[in-house]
Amino acid sequence: MTVTLHFHGAAGTVTGSCYRVVHPGGQFLVDCGLFQGNRTVRDLNLKPTPFDPKAIDFLLLTHAHIDHAGLLPKLYREGWRGPMWMTEPTAGLLEYLLPDSAGIQESEAEQETKKRARKGEAPAQPLYAMEDAEEALKHCKVVAYGEWIEPGPGVRARYWNAGHIIGSASIEVEVADGEGKTIRLMFSGDIGPDEKVFYNEPEGPAGFDYILCESTYGGRERDDYSLDERRQALKSEIVTALGRGGNLVIPAFAVERSQELLHDIGTLIKAGEIDPRRVFLDSPLASKVTGVYREHAAMFEDMELTAGELFNDPRFRIVESVEESKAINSIRGGAIIISASGMADAGRIKHHLRNNLIRANATVLFVGYQAPGTLGQILLSGARDVRIHGHEVPVRAAIRSMGNYSAHADHSELMAWIKARLPAHGAIFLTHGEDAERAALRQALLAEGLAGDQVVLPMLDDRFELRAEGIAAVARPERPRVDVNQLESDWHNAFADFTLRLSHRLQAAPDTEKLAIMRELQETLAGLDAAPVATANAGGEAEAYGE
């Protein structure tokens, strides 16, 4: 029996990281993340798990971000009871992230149930519940960086600092095949940039049979910067925003981004370089996560503040209750409001955006990647109006962005990480990126002299038979779980944009033309009703493998 590698997530998308390795001694997972992004991508979470969870022996977790760990409770809901290996800080983060995610699932199911009740439909069921998250947390096992473990027969694994978020790791894995040979794999997880407040640069050994590397920022470079230069860029944004007289709203992920922002803002306040009235961190989850960072402050590398000063400036208000969050809406200017989520597609940030986007003196600052279809991406694209909580909200605030807070390595840093891991005797799989970014990284690797069949762009649920000397066979699923053409921009977003534009067109047209516009649309729809329905072309697959 050979070793087979299955890509059940983060293949053609940025999220849903999940890899399954089947070998003579059993099978295991590396990560099991939630799909995030547009509705088509999110709907993958609701579909049946593409493998039998009870057949999995163990799981290796690279880090705690929900797009890598968010489907763990679903596995336990479906009856799995195996161990999950991770670093100690990752286990600390999961204590808050998994229950938080479960609460969101239950809340969304409750809201959907209310809608269905009005139509006389059956109640909705959550993807998983709080008890499933609590069950998952019972099975965490902690491993130190650089320590070999043997989580199952014929498998060894070792964790290396990935420099992404606290506790993040790249995982080196050795698997015995049916012929007594050892196949060596390196799962990158998410790679952090060279310049980070809290950690050293990513690390790990060289020489593998197969390397799986994320490609979120393939083909994209950020400006070179030092930590001090990044802090000065933030200072410039803050001074300009507060100088306009309004609030500065910053959508930020609860893990890492919020803590880095608080550290840098605290440093600038301490140096007398900025003077905000208040700095709000409005996220119950971010508040709890900040406690994990305080607990592990001794492992941090480049802080300008002492452990006692970290997140403790008297102007900081770490908000947890709903009442405190609502009270922020009464502040018309001089405040910095940091709130989750980072792509502005869920959580309290949507309330703050709805309250501040309409103000011409307010500023919204994005400090990280915005996936296609998210509210953050729509705002950055220059939308004049957006929908928040079912309401049309005019965009009068200044929309700004800076990329130097990304927790992901950019193109050059990804290339450097891959080259430091070479040689890869079998292949390099590029995952966890949109197709354009993966293709750019692939082209750069080919320009370095790698052969075309050595750099592979797997798609969802692809299966590869691995041998030490190279890929022996490739198989695609007979029934794809999703139309790949809908992954980056699905019909739901197009429909929302169309309805907004139609509304604006009708409102702007003279009364004498409104009826004519609607009649023309009705005639077009009548023509569509009479035409056969076209199906999406799923061709062009060979090019993904460099054939």
Q: Check which CATH number belongs to the domain holding 157 and give it.
A: 3.60.15.10
Q: Note down the domain range covering 514.
A: 491-524
Alpha-helical (H) ranges within 381-510 are 411-421, 435-447, 491-508
Domain identity same for 253 and 281:
yes
Q: Are residues 138 and 232 in the same domain?
A: no
Tokens of 264: 């840098």
Which percentage of the chain shows pLDDT scores above 70? 93
Cα distances (angstroms) measured from residue 63 to each of 70, 292, 322, 445, 521: 11, 14, 29, 26, 50
Q: What is the CATH number of the domain that holds 354?
A: 3.40.50.10890
Extended beta strands in 343-397, E state: 363-366, 385-388, 391-394
Residues 56 and 192 occupy one common structural domain: yes
Tens of pLDDT along 328-358?
999 999 999 999 888 898 889 999 999 999 9
Residues 300, 346 share a domain: yes
Residue 532 neighbours by CB distance under 10 Å: 5
Q: What is the pLDDT of residues 230-240, one digit of tens each?
A: 899 999 999 99
- Where a domain ends, among 354, 382, 401? 401
Whether residues 480 and 495 share a domain: the answer is no
d(CA 365, CA 112): 31
- Predicted pLDDT of residue 384: 93
Same domain, 95 and 11: yes
CA 28, CA 21: separation in Å to the nearest integer? 5
Give the tens place of pLDDT for each residue, 290-315: 889 888 887 776 667 666 677 888 99
Residue 391 lies in a domain: yes
Report yes or no: 97 and 66 within 8 Å, Cβ to Cβ. Answer: yes
Residue 138 identity: K
Measure Cα distances from 462 to 7, 9, 22, 191, 475 in Å. 6, 10, 13, 23, 6
In a domain? residue 538: no
pLDDT of 543 reads 28
> Sign (positive/negative) of CA torsion 80, 457, 408, 340?
negative
Same domain, 397 and 500: no
pLDDT value, residue 534:
40
Cα–Cα distance for residue pair 195/405, rounded to 1 Å: 10
| Structure-block tokens of residue 93 | 């983060």
- Is 367 in the same domain as 259? yes
Note whether 278 and 366 are same-domain residues: yes
> For the chain, what is the total number of helices (H) and then of strands (E)?
15, 23
Strands 26-30, 18-23: pairing kind: antiparallel
Round to whole Å and give the CA distance between 244 and 355: 17
- Say yes or no to pLDDT of 476 above 50: yes
511: in domain: yes
One domain, residues 397 and 450: no
Q: Would the CA dihedral through 253, 257, 263, 268 be positive or negative?
A: negative
Residue 363 located in a structural domain: yes
In whole angstroms, give the CA distance from residue 366 to residue 378.
12
pTM for this one?
0.82
Tell me how many domains the chain contains: 3
Q: Are residues 364 and 427 in the same domain?
A: no
Same domain assignment for residues 355 and 427: no
